[in-house]
Structure 1
Amino acid sequence: MSQGYPSFPSWDEAQPVEYAPPPAVAYPGPPAARPSAPPAAPASMPYAAPYPAPPAPSFFAQPAVGSSVPTVITEIPMAPAFGRAAPPPAGYPDFDYATGIDYAAGPVAPPVARKVPRAAIYGIVATALLAAGVLGYANLHSRPAASRPAAATPTPRASAFEAPPFPVDPTGPAVPTFPGASKGAPAGLRADAPARQVAGATFGRDEDVSVATSGGWPFAFRIPADWKCVGGKVDLPDSEAMVCFDKRTEKNERAGIILRTCPSTCDAADRAKLDQQWFENTAGLRRADGDTRFRQTAENGAGKYQLELGHFFTDPASGVKYQVGVDARTAPAQKAKAQKVVNDVLSQTTF
């Protein structure tokens, strides 16, 4: 065995000398057989003659198989099932040891077993349950009701921040402005705009049209219902452009519109300079009023009808002075469409 572990004695080691075995356990033998004969009569019996032997036990003699001997039944007096017997016959002691009958105690009638109807038992049980429920209900309502503490009124806590009432305008970072884009929402069509024209036809009141505009432009204008407009580009400083055309023919019927600011003074010299940049060639220009120039060509070098417009106006909402230019070109037979677009732009920019 390795060191560090305790050693144990062998299990067959001899016991010490002082050891003594425990005493043997004595078990009682079987009980003695009880005598079958009745006990001797007490010496104090008042009679000297011996009491007669008990009669033979009762038995039922069954006849043998095939025998004609009738069954014989012999009866002996037995102790009654209940109570005690009548006084002993003459010559017998008060207590008969053979039969176990106590004559001295006198006659005792056997108990009478009475049957109680089942309905009566159910009625008693139901009455007891009903009485218990009534008592419990009366006891429950006789107790004092538990009182609930009064609800405390919450005390509002002071807050350093007070939420603004709704509705409120949302706040957030400014939306960036992209190059070539104008600020503001698209303007709507002016219903009170004066009806003006520099040449030819104008849109009727009930004519099927579309409305064109661009974000940040201070006006909108009408175009034929089968036209559409897209953003454009023009080689002019500080200018924004839009191109509108017939969706079916595209190149055959179209109009280019520009918008740019005029210098703060926007005097005659400034306007002459801007007109020169826009029209390039001022030959054939006509004056409609002090703010408007136009030129109409029945058929240009490409065989198109062409109507050009240059108009200065001041936006009443912002006070900014602008120049708007329109160059509409169509087939000579469709020149009314070009005239309607040019005249409507002039009407919507006249304040």
Structure 2
Amino acid sequence: MYDIHQPWAVPPAGQISAIAVTARYSWLAFVLALFRPSLTVNGQPVPAAWGRTVVPVPPGQHHVQVYVPYLLPPRVGPAETVVPVHPGQVVEVEYRAPVIAWIGGAIGPAPQPVRGLAAGIALLVVPLVALLCIGGGVAALVLSQDDGTPAARQPADTQPPPPTAGTPRTSSPTPDPTPESGTGEPTLRQVPARTVAGPSYAPGDKTYTMTLDGLPFAFRTPTGWGCLGATVDVPDAKAWVCIDEGNPFEAGGAPADRTKRAQIMLRPCPASCGPAERATRDQEWFEGAKATAVDERTSFIETAKDDKGRYSLDLSHFFTGGDGDRWQVGVWAYSDPEDRAVPQKIVNDLLTQAG
């Protein structure tokens, strides 16, 4: 029997974990004091200010993004990082806004560098030196006058070029459903959606692209969701639990039937991964229950209402990764019956992206 099908444990009182984000700016960028930094955790906006902001989070990996809303450009110093948090741990993270508006900020363990500091000082020194040169030239011109006749105009020295705006760039793009190349992480595949039950994600849906350590493909959840590492009593298997972190029933030991969750298992399949092997693994995943076969690699069980009053969708799918390895991915997702489209879209997107 798979432990992953059991409800995810809520940390007991006194073991609440959190991320503490301290946002700072340089005296050279003092104008940023007029604006409040924008902070999001797992795509969920969090009220923040300059200084230290503490954000309670469940244990696991969390995506943190900070930037400063501005006039031009509209976002100054975007930066992001993934923060691992253990039960009862408060992880300190420092964000440093840049001196130059067009470059990214810095985020991570303190102390963080001030990006663009040398260029910012240069932009102050060069005009000052130019002003001193101009003043000295005027004084020399006045002193060189003879009998009231202006001195002959000398060829002007080459003036330093005015500072030009750098090429706009960001150090960390905002996560969204659009795949990005060159990141070294799995990205979304542009392929037709596959479904076993209910709808798939449509254009305009607010989603967050998940890239989990060890999972060879990316997939989407609704915004505001986060995925935590889990354990499963299966050799060589990895597991995760994805939850709606904005759901008030996720905190304080709420009944499991009032939550929305997706629980994922990944394990290798032998090189042959033939019909007999797949059938055995399906039996193990579905715990002997009768599943509906979509094709030779995909089976699912849809339950309109279980003994806890939840809608659930359970999927087993076999696929070949980009490196040629064969895998089984199992997904069990549930919600209140009226919210069934949420687990349906997650499961369908996992199936689509696995290939």
- Greater Rg over alpha carbons, structure: 1
TM-score range, shorter-chain basis? 0.3 to 0.5
Larger RCO (CA under 8 A, 6+ residues apart)? 2
Higher normalized strand content (fraction of residues): 2
Higher normalized helix content (fraction of residues): 2
